Amino acid sequence: MVGTATKQAVRDARYSLQNLNFKTFNFDVHKLHAHVDAASLLISSNGETRSEDDLVTALLNAYKQAPNQEFCQLILSIENDAERDDKDIKAEELMHRAEVRYDNLVKRKKWTKSDPRDQQIIALQASIDKLTAAANKSDKKTSDNNASGKTKGGEKDGEKKSKGKDKNKGRDGKTRSYPDWMIKAPTNGQTTQTRNVKGKQVKYHWCPPHREGQGLWVQHTKEECSLLKKQQEEKAPKLQANLSTIDSDDESDGY
Ligand SMILES: [Zn+2]
């Protein structure tokens, strides 16, 4: 009566019960248990018995992957109690207690569905990105504004700068793209303009040294331009040779 296909299915069911992975069930206790029930039923309806010990061990291992400390602690305490009393853990009772606690945690919105280790990695990556961006900003700022006398590459420095000031935005990459208006040279000799930036009126000045001499609308005046200052300083001793080394990094100045 029991065909080979069914025998294979029973073997699969048995194997799956011994290798429960909580993550596969999206950390949903009910989904995990539905699978356990279905697999158990398949095994028993074919006249075979599943191993209670194996199932309990697999369940305990699966539960311990839970993205929730409180839940994991419950599982550990169930294990400890059984060990202390030298009693076997019953799969049914274990599953019941797990379900009750799970439902309770979900109700209290204390249950997240993602793997805590994944979350840690995401958080870590985010802070690395932040530090990298801050370091880049800090490097640039110190290179185009030596007057501030700040330490080169200081993270704190960079972070401080990244906060609040609109003019520091969009300067974390080497390649920069400007809005059309920002690179459009004044045609009417008008080298200042006022623009609406997030509801604030901001005055812009046309500053010729930027973009390798092609000019850029910036928020500083030519007199305040550290790039121009730098070019003039460097032009004096070495003349042409240095002009080509002033690269586009300095365009971020005061923008
Ligand atoms: Zn300038």
Q: Which pLDDT tens digit goes with each residue over 106-132?
A: 999 888 766 556 666 666 677 777 777
Give the pLDDT confidence score for residue 50 in this predicted structure.
Answer: 85
Whether residue 112 is contained in a domain is answered as: yes
Give the domain extent around 236.
Answer: 164-248
Phi, psi of 31 (to 5 degrees): -65, -40
Residue 203 CB contacts under 8 Å (≥ 6 apart), including other chains: 192, 193, 194, 219
Looking at residue 25, its amino acid is: F
Cβ atoms of residues 59 and 66 within 8 Å: no
Find the 89 Cα to ligand 1 centroid distance in Å: 75
Find the 249 Cα to ligand 1 centroid distance in Å: 12
For the chain, the domain total comes to 2
Give the pLDDT confidence score for residue 47 in this predicted structure.
Answer: 85
Cα angle 26, 31, 36 (rounded to 5 degrees) comes to 120
pLDDT digits (tens, 9 = 90+) for 142-177: 555 554 444 444 444 444 444 444 443 444 445 578
Whether residue 154 is contained in a domain is answered as: no
Whether residue 139 is contained in a domain is answered as: no
Whether residue 44 is contained in a domain is answered as: yes
Give the pLDDT confidence score for residue 118 in this predicted structure.
Answer: 62
Average pLDDT, the chain: 79
Find the 242 Cα to ligand 1 centroid distance in Å: 18
Find the 227 Cα to ligand 1 centroid distance in Å: 6
Find the 253 Cα to ligand 1 centroid distance in Å: 6
Give the pLDDT confidence score for residue 219 in this predicted structure.
Answer: 93
Whether residue 156 is contained in a domain is answered as: no
Find the 209 Cα to ligand 1 centroid distance in Å: 6
Token readout for 126 is 């985010």
Find the 222 Cα to ligand 1 centroid distance in Å: 6
Find the 168 Cα to ligand 1 centroid distance in Å: 14
Give the pLDDT confidence score for residue 238 in this predicted structure.
Answer: 53
Long-range CB pairs of 59-66, under 8 A, 24+ apart, other chains included: 59/20, 59/91, 59/94, 59/95, 59/98, 60/89, 60/94, 61/20, 62/20, 62/21, 62/22, 62/32, 63/22, 63/98, 65/21, 65/22, 65/23, 65/27, 65/115, 66/22, 66/27
Give the pLDDT confidence score for residue 46 in this predicted structure.
Answer: 86
Q: Which of 76, 91, 116 is the last residue of a domain?
A: 116
Q: Residues in the chain with pLDDT < 70?
A: 1-5, 113-124, 138-175, 237-255
Find the 163 Cα to ligand 1 centroid distance in Å: 22
Is there a single domain that holds both residue 110 and residue 10? yes
Task: Give, as residue ranges, everything with CB less than 5 Å from ion ligand 1.
Answer: 207, 225, 227
Find the 219 Cα to ligand 1 centroid distance in Å: 8
Is there a single domain that holds both residue 109 and residue 183? no
